[in-house]
Chain A
Amino acid sequence: MGATAMTSTNPAHLEYVLRLGDAALIHGQRLSEWCGQAPVLEEDLALANMALDFVGQARMLLSHAGTLEGKGRDEDTLAFLRHEGQYRNPTLCEMPNTDFAHTMIKGFLLGSFNLLMWSRLCGSSDKALAAIAAKSLKEARYHAEHTGDWVIRLGDGTEESHRRAQAALDMLWPYTNELFAANPTDDAAAAAGVGPAWSDLAEDWEKAVLPVLKHATLTVPARTPFQTYGKFGRHSEHLGHLLAVMQHLPRSFPGATW
């Protein structure tokens, strides 16, 4: 196995990949909660497809993170056997589904971010990560399109759907601050050519997101100093509950394989 050879000596590299992997894992887990509950059968299948894409991305990214770490942890050890403070997903990912508007707004804000992220990561100096990016980029295009279309339908639909979409945007928008907060991990990863500092994506992200929100007749909330720190391991109260459910079996049957 080339695992040892691929172990990274750059801790920022591992941290950077874990953020991506955990973001996919937690977002995928939330999307999968919709299965069997969607407003219309066609959308049930679409949500499941997106959830499957994210679970698939999480598997590749966490496997890769395990390799970079070089301590023998595989995708499942990382997904199921860490403590809350060891997850590195942005807080936005773990926010509850609440209603269809929340899920679509969140999916769109994250999806637009992922689209930029993956297209930049296709050129990563980490070849394994670049390969994951090439695959994920295709999926992200669909996610951004599908959720973006729904944001427009809901925003520019009925009075009720507009109200719900606006409420979801007001609630979730402040959590996007965290996506673009500068930090040393990003600086080191960018310097090593692993991937872009997330803060560098802010401008392009707004260029992608704002026209859709405008088309949806939604009002973009003013930026506030609100800060969350999920990608540093300090999460909302929601994550603990999500993990309690998700980790239940591997924690209850230590050492079992499934």
Chain B
Amino acid sequence: MYTQALDIPPGEQPKRTPDAVENAAYQAEFDARIDAGATIEAKDWMPEAYRKTLVRQISQHAHSEIVGMLPEGNWISRAPSLKRKAILLAKVQDEGGHGLYLYAAAETLGVSRDELTEALLSGKAKYSSIFNYPTLNWADVGVIGWLVDGAAIMNQIPLCKCSYGPYARAMVRVCKEESFHQRQGYDALLAMMSGTDEQRELVQDAVNRWWWPSLMMFGPHDADSPNSGQSMRWGIKRISNDDLRQKFVDATVKQAEVLGVTLPDDELKWNEARGHYDFAAIDWDEFWNVVNGHGQCNVDRLAMRVKAWDDGAWVREAAVAHAEKQAAREKAAA
């Protein structure tokens, strides 16, 4: 999975609607349950803003999985061995599966998958901007597994304990499968690093391109995400963007060493006092540019999803038409 911590727009802040006032007792009970760490289930009463925030976050997350199939899918037909082809195909298929689990979780909140898909295809819904970068050589596939999935795992493990039951359960399932993703990526890179000089160059080139975008996946600095507080309060978010990012950097430095690649940051060094690695400032202009549609692949990725959906319309209609005919025939025969 590939969550990216995105802000809750101000319009979605919980507000005192007449409905909420009427439901003050429910609200109090809801708050008490959240505070007690209880799980909210689909049919339980919930504040509208909580529901909307969940729909947005879960569907963004699902969209990210679906769009995330494309950059790696780009290499399935060119995988360099049959073993790697099978692994990559299984991995990208898993991402589709994760998207499906997550759409199913979102649907428990009263939205349909078609509505969510439409929001993605019309450009209204966001997905993780990491997928708007191109995959330029075979090592990109390994680096995505190692760094991008690695960052995603950091983000998603806390979500297994999020307050909304169907989302938390979907995330447990996703997490179980995700560690295979990171390991296969690292394994593919190890194989290349113990190969020829040319192969090692491919790996370093890919690391250089994916390192900073991976750090951006954790979202803006805590100081710049004023609405994270609400998600924390609701138990939809458990650990802050900066804390997760630091955890990721700390874990990755050693892995890079073992692999024999250089992370593209001259300022990256151990800070004894903090007990963490220091790293250079992130280029947030680049982040917002890509989020706002100006990444190299924003247009291509969406166009590909739109094409798949449009090309498939007649197939989806045919299945419905056939089921209706069958039902009518069975009725007539009864």
Contacts and interface: CB of A to CB of B under 8 A. Distances in A.
Question: Within 8 Å by CB, do A and B touch in the complex?
Answer: yes
B96 A44 contact: yes
A209 interface: no
B333 interface: no
A257 B191 contact: yes
Given A37-B308, A40-B316, A255-B196, A250 B80 contact: yes
Interface in B35-84: 66, 69-70, 73, 76-84
Interface of B: 66, 69-70, 73, 76-86, 89-90, 92-93, 96-97, 99-100, 103, 113, 138, 188, 191-192, 195-196, 198-199, 304, 307-309, 311-319, 321-323, 325
A60 to B, nearest CB: 10
Contacts of B188: 258
A49 B96 CA distance: 12
**A-side interface size class:** 35 or more
A17 interface: no
A190 B311 CA distance: 44
Give the dominant DSSP class at A's interface. helix
A228 interface: no
A29 B309 CA distance: 22
A227 B214 CA distance: 53
B318 A99 contact: no
Given A35-B73, A37-B308, A158-B314, A152 B322 contact: yes
A226 interface: no
B84 A258 contact: yes
Interface in A230-258: 245-246, 248-250, 253, 255-258
A52 B89 contact: yes
B69 A160 contact: no
Interface of A: 25, 29, 32-33, 35-45, 48-49, 51-52, 55-56, 58-59, 62, 75-76, 79-80, 99-100, 152-154, 156-158, 160-161, 164, 245-246, 248-250, 253, 255-258
Contacts of B70: 36
Contacts of B191: 257-258
Contact of B99 (A33, A41, A158, A257): A41
Contact of B86 (A56, A246, A257): A56
B198 A45 contact: no
A164 B198 CA distance: 47
A154 B315 contact: yes
B20 to A, nearest CB: 35
B317 A35 contact: no
Given A39-B313, A55-B89, A158-B317, 16 more contacts: A36-B73, A36-B92, A36-B308, A38-B308, A39-B315, A40-B312, A40-B316, A41-B66, A52-B90, A59-B82, A99-B311, A152-B322, A156-B325, A158-B314, A253-B198, A256-B198
B314 A161 contact: yes
Contacts of B82: 25, 55, 58-59, 62, 75-76, 79
A25 B113 CA distance: 34
Contacts of A43: 315
